[in-house]
Structure 1
């Protein structure tokens, strides 16, 4: 039976407090595993307003109804309202997720700062931001992190190298077709990548007649062959909120298609890492998402 690994990005304080418990209940109902990747520092979601200048971002906001999913208060954090420290104020939720049997890992320290800044950041900036996330994770869980999934699928060469320096077993930082050993600008890295292989709900809704009501059916059509493993990225703010019914249908549908619903850790443990193909990792674009992000490139 193929694996469908569930990777859950938790971007905000509200997503941590409200979305994560909802998702845990859904996953338990379907006896599904998952990996939760937490934002561990301040919630500065309101500062994402600067993205309005990016091509395609306004259209995405209009398509996916950002206010209804995130709430007005969250969209003011870091501007008119101080951003709550997620790792401090919601540490109980983070530990409860681990105690419920789910894998936990690092998403970032400050989601907006990382997503908007890491692509052009220098080594000092990257080490500082990554280091704060590693330190907070260790404080909350009493052990170092073993996996990382980049906020907004945004990375740079220093960040990719830091995953190896800090002892990560594997990462899921980009988009692609299958697990691989990443090569960055001619240098092979030590941490294997398990890229997201399927589109996210916010990339699909509002395009080509796809709605919140039929998005699950569309995504299930993409996986109906059930002839390969997949990694699906969901967001605590979406599938743990208004899109919970769609996610519920997805879980039931994937089980009916014959998939084992697992954490990314389970998929990683099934791999012979030494035999994974080597692929470049670099910048690319994905339909439905604005800007550049990390993608699996050509074999090498």
Structure 2
């Protein structure tokens, strides 16, 4: 039975307090496993407004109704309102997900700071950011984190090396390249090991293989505008041919306004014969396999502005 690994990015204070707990309840109803990845420091979502000058940003904002999904208050954090410390104020909400039986891991310390800066930063800056999140995770959960999923799929070679230093055996920090219709550019793409800073790293990468909802909503694909009425069917079309997949969802989207779409996906994937998995479940299935060793690469994806970490094609 193929695995559909559900990777949940929790970016914001609101997403941690509301969206993530909504997803805990939804997943329990569907008897679906998943991994929650938390932002553990300050919520500076308002600083993301600086991205307005990047190519493609306004197009994405207009398609995905950022104010509707994230809330005006969240968009003011760090600008007109103080940035709440997510890990200090939402520790119990995070522990609720763990108590419900879900794997929890690190997304980042400060989502906006990491996403906007890590590509250009050195080893010391990277280590400080990652150590803060590692220490905060231990303080909240009482144990070391086992996994990581980078904010905005943004990393650098020093960050990948830190995952090995922390003893993390698996992470999901990048994406598989996609065609314009959301299908895999390389149908065989999947888990791999990275070569960074001149050596092969131990931490196995489990890249996201499917487009996210915000990358599809509002786009025209094969002459059809993708909206709330057909987006689930669009994604389910991509998973008709069975293989292991990783799907990234967001507590701020599927945990709130887009929850009905996510439920359609869960029902459809179950009918297609998939077993819902955490990242730990997926890692257990692939860790003894003969995985390719690939270099760190950057690339772009349809429906998303800027570059991000991508899995290179076949080695």
Measured against the shorter chain, the TM-score band is over 0.9
Equivalent residue in structure 2 for 1:220, among 222, 236, 242:
236
1:214 Cα deviation from its structure 2 partner? 1.5
Q: TM-score, normalised by structure 2?
A: 0.93
Instruction: Tell me how far apart the structure 2 counterparts of residues 272 and 130 of structure 1 sit (CA, whole Å).
Output: 24
Q: TM-score, normalised by structure 1?
A: 0.98
Question: What's the RMSD between the two structures over aligned residues?
Answer: 1.0
Q: Which residue of 1 aligns with 2:190?
A: 178
Matches for 1:192-231 after TM superposition, within 5 Å: 192-208=204-220, 209-226=225-242, 228-231=243-246
> How far does the alpha carbon of each residue in 1:132-176 deviate from its partner, in whole angstroms, 9 at most, with x for none?
000000000011111000000000011000000011110100002
Q: Which residue of 1 aligns with 2:254?
A: 239
1:185 Cα deviation from its structure 2 partner? 6.1
Instruction: Tell me how far apart the structure 2 counterparts of residues 91 and 145 of structure 1 sit (CA, whole Å).
Output: 15
Q: Does 1:104 pair with 2:119?
A: no
Contact 2:161 2:196 in 1 (8 A): no
Instruction: Tell me how far apart the structure 1 counterparts of residues 164 and 193 of structure 2 sit (CA, whole Å).
Output: 12
Matches for 1:32-51 after TM superposition, within 5 Å: 32-51=32-51
1:260 Cα deviation from its structure 2 partner? 0.1
Matches for 1:263-282 after TM superposition, within 5 Å: 263-273=278-288, 275-282=290-297
> How far does the alpha carbon of each residue in 1:182-233 deviate from its partner, in whole angstroms, 9 at most, with x for none?
123653112110000000000000001001221111100110122x100000
Stretches of 4+ aligned residues off by more than 2 angstroms? 184-187
Unaligned runs of 5+ in 2: 177-188
Contact 2:158 2:197 in 1 (8 A): no
Q: Which residue of 2 aligns with 1:153?
A: 153
Residue-pair matches, total:
299
> How far does the alpha carbon of each residue in 1:69-116 deviate from its partner, in whole angstroms, 9 at most, with x for none?
000000000110001100010000111100100000000000000000
